[in-house]
Structures are given as structure tokens and as C-alpha cells.
Amino acid sequence: MKGKILILEDDIVLSEQIANVVKHYNYEVMQTVNSDQFFEVLRQFQPDVILLDVFLVGSKLNGIQVLQHLKNDMDLNYKVIVISGEVTSSQINEIRTLGAYHFIEKGSAFSINQLLLHIENAITLKRQEEEHIGLQIEYINLKKQFARSFPFIGESNAIKKVREQIIRLASVDEDIFLIGETGTGKEVAANYYYIYSPRFDKPFHTVNCSALSETLIESELFGHIKGSFTSADRDKTGFFEECSNGILFLDEVTNLSLMSQSKILRAIENKEIQVVGGNLKKVDTRLIFASNAGLEKLSDESIFRKDLFYRIEGNIVELPPLRERDDDILLLICYFLTSFSSQYSVIDRLDLPALKDDLLNYSWPGNVRELRNFCKFIMINEQKINNNVIKKHLQQKINQFRFSKNYSSEKYTKIHNLKDSVASFERDYLLYYLSLNNWRISQTAEAIGLERTTLYKKIKSLGINHLKMED
């Protein structure tokens, strides 16, 4: 079956003639003679094409009024071909305004072959539109799925400003540079840019520049041909070429040599790359740079080329650390706990707003990544999660942070005997926590996760004065 045709024509003879012909050409046909019958059949039959007369004798509505109703019905997709005689030019204009696919005049000029051609073209157009709508829906769903994988959570003014800046730069298809401390969400920001970029449905690759050796970086970025160096046993396509018309995310780009940076600059300005051992190739690759270096360090020409810096200076996005996003901490911890809850523990009697002050007492030097890992650790190691559980683990984290600041690893690495170095660390560690817990053994044991008797034995073996301690 080539398609479904619904005829609304009060001339029964003409309607029958048209129906017989289109049936012969493998179309399914339904016929109606008045508007009341037509709308009932329309809902059930759901045609591809409607053949509509203007002057409908014995109908409540004429053809133009029917067409008006069809225009208002946006749930159905069909093409309307109006077949009528003796209509005015204003009526023809109205028919076109109301969205009819075509108008055919009855009479001596009427051709059934012409009608068949218009029907075939109308059905082809309808199916193309449906395919386009399907692709649009698929595209939107893909964006939603991608966004769920990389949520950019936060309602603070600082993070709102970042999102707005990224959307603006993405919409005009500009290279950007993301700057932020470790764990601030540079990868999330890069994916956010990708979602709002006109290149969304094109390739997107992430390259951790710090993980690539200087000898491999050019081959990875620009590709190589077989035999160009000792281990080049086959041709290799580089990331720039793979992402042509797409986006390449160069994370920790300041780890690249100045020479590699110069070649990236050429790729940006000339839209071409030099394949190792091969020829120049044209590429159209959008770049996202990222670094945890501050702006001052970034502009140091020994770290980052001045000409490359000036090339993207206007497109720098600074991601704020978590300590500058007080309003977002509760949102983030709620999201992470909820995300992990189905996989790990049960959340029990949790009142997150009551924890805000406790959460803000810690600076979160590892930023969002540290908060995420903190939530995951709790969910894995606790049966049920409540405010007291979170407070306990948070206090442990604060204590560990204070200890790491007060006791440098350099002290222990200077002791060349491993056994003595470990003993020195254990002694300092226990002294710190004993002092923090007012020299109470039971309290200290709970804080560091040891049995009370085990802790007491450790204290004696390490020569710590235990006389002032309380059991």
C-alpha cells in the first residue's frame, strides 16, 4: 500500500471515479460526502492525503471551514489537496493560507494523472516531514540523556554566571579556555558547552594532555602515516582529524610543550594540521582547553605560549571553587546521596539543611569531586545514612585535613628506615587525635576506627605518656 486517501466530495460520481483510479495504483481509499461523516472517519482512518471539495451540498461546513478545523488540529499530520470549481481568487488565497498542499480546479482542465502526481508528491513530503520530526525528537532525547550524564548542578550566582558564559560562547561556536582548581567540574563544563554547541551531534573527544608523553603527543593529536617512525606500523588518524566538524577537549593543556602548543595554534588559525610523516590536512575542529593553573601562571610564557593565550584570551571561563559556592553545597550533596542511594545504603531521617553549617566549616580543597567522593564513601561504608552519620564522617575528614597540614610527609621521608618512619608517623598521628579528643582513649579509638584495647597497646608500644589519659 502506497498510502491512505480520504475523499470528502458531495459529487458521488466524481468521488467514485477518483476512488477507483487511486485504488488501482495501490492506495487505500475512504469516501465521505458530508462534514459530519468526514470528521468521524478522519479520526479512525488517519489518512496521509485528504481530497477536499469546497462546495459541500448538504453539509454543515463547507470545504474552507473544514480546512480551518484541520489547521487547528496539530496532532495529525496530513496533506490536503483541494479539488473544486468556480472559486474566487480570494478563496484560493484563503485555501493556501490555511495550509492546503495544492489546489486543483475541476472542469475540462482536470487531469486524473496530474492528481495522482500531486498525491504521490504530497505523501513523499509528509513522510520526509515525519522523518525530520523523528530525528528532532531523537536529537532532543540524546541531548537530555547527555545532560543527565554530566549535570551542571548549582543555583549560586557564581555558577549561574559560568553557565550563561558557556552557553553564549557555545552558541557562537568559539574556542574556549576553562580555568579552575582540581575538582571544580571542568569536564562537566566542557560537556555543557558541547550540549549547547551547534556541533552537538558531531564527534566529541577528551584528551588528558598530562597523560601523554612528548614523543606521542603529536601522533595522538595530528596522526601519523605508516613508517614515519620506528613503531609506526600502520596509519593513524589523530584526534584533530577525528573531531573535524566536532569538538576536541584538551584537558590540562599547560602540560604540553611550547612546540606542541605552536602546532595547535596553527591548527586553530589555518584550520590545517601537519600529519607526522605526511601532508597537511584541512580540519575544522573546535577546541576546549582546560587547566588548573591560575590566570597569572597561565600567562607566563614559559608555561603557555603568549600568542596562543592572546588567541583565546577573550573566551576564558573561570570555574569557582566550591568554597565560593555556599548555596550549592546542599544541592550537590543531595544530588550525590540520591544518586548513590539505589546502589548502596539507605537514607534514614536525613535533614540536610540542618547540616549546612557543618558542611561549610570545611573548605573542600578537592571541590565538587571531593564532595562526590565523600558522599560515595559514606554510602558504601554505612548501613543507614542520617545527620549524625554525616557529621561523624565530616569531622573525621576535617581532622585528617588538619593533620595533613600540621604534619608534612617530608618529615617521614627523611627517615631512611621504613620501620622507624612508620612508627614516627603513627606516633604523631595518635598524639594528634588524642589531643583532639582530650586524651580520652575510647573517644579517640572511635574517631580513628580502632578497638580501645588495640589503641591502648599502640600507645604503650610507641612510648606515648598515657598517664594523663582517660579510659
Beta pairing partners, 79: 49
Cβ–Cβ under 8 Å, residues 371 and 379:
no
The three cell numbers of residue 60 are 454543515
**CATH 1.10.10.60: which residues of the chain?**
409-461
C-alpha cell of 56? 459541500
Euclidean distance between CA atoms 199 and 170, whole angstroms: 9
Task: Name the CATH architecture for the domain at 409-461.
Answer: Orthogonal Bundle (1.10)
Instruction: Return the percentage of the chain with pLDDT > 90, whole number.
Output: 24
The DSSP code for 282 is E
What is the rounded distance in angstroms from the CA atom of residue 274 to the CA atom of residue 281?
A: 7
In the chain, which residues fall in CATH 3.40.50.300? Answer: 157-320
153-173 as b/e: b if 16+ CB within 10 A:
ebebebbeebeebbeebbeee
Give, in words, the CATH class of 3-130: alpha beta
Question: Is residue 254 pLDDT above 80, yes or no?
Answer: yes
Domain with CATH 1.10.8.60 in the chain: 323-406
Q: In terms of pLDDT, which residue wins out, 235 or 407?
A: 235
Give residue-wise pLDDT tens across range 401-449: 766 666 666 666 667 677 777 777 777 777 777 776 777 888 788 777 7
Q: Which residue has the higher pLDDT, 464 or 366?
A: 366
Between 208-212, 291-295, 374-378, 443-447, the lowest mean confidence (pLDDT) is in 443-447
Which residues in the chain are classed under CATH 3.40.50.2300? Answer: 3-130
Higher pLDDT, 235 or 464: 235
Alpha-carbon span 253 to 305, nearest angstrom: 11
User: So what's the pLDDT on residue 210?
Assistant: 84
Q: What is the CATH number of domain 157-320?
A: 3.40.50.300
pLDDT exceeds 70 at position 466: no
Distance separating the N- and C-terminal Cα atoms of the chain: 89
How many Å apart are CA 97 and CA 48, to the nearest integer?
20
Any idea how long the chain is? 471
- Is the CATH code 1.10.3210.10 the one for domain 323-406? no
Q: By C-alpha distance, which of 123, 154, 181 is closest to 365?
A: 181
Other CB atoms within 10 Å distance of the CB of residue 384: 11
Residue 21: phi, psi to the nearest 5? -65, -50
The letter for the amino acid at 83 is I
pLDDT at 146: 56
The pLDDT of residue 153 = 87
Instruction: Give the Cα separation of 227 and 204 in Å (integer).
Output: 28
Dump pLDDT digits (tens) for 344-388.
777 777 888 898 888 888 888 899 999 999 999 888 888 888 888
Number of H helices, E strands in the chain: 20, 14
Give the pLDDT mean for 115-126.
85
Closest of 294, 327, 339 to residue 161, by C-alpha: 327
Burial 38-75 (b: 16+ CB within 10 A, else e): bbebbeebebbbbbbbbebeebebbbbebbeebeeeee
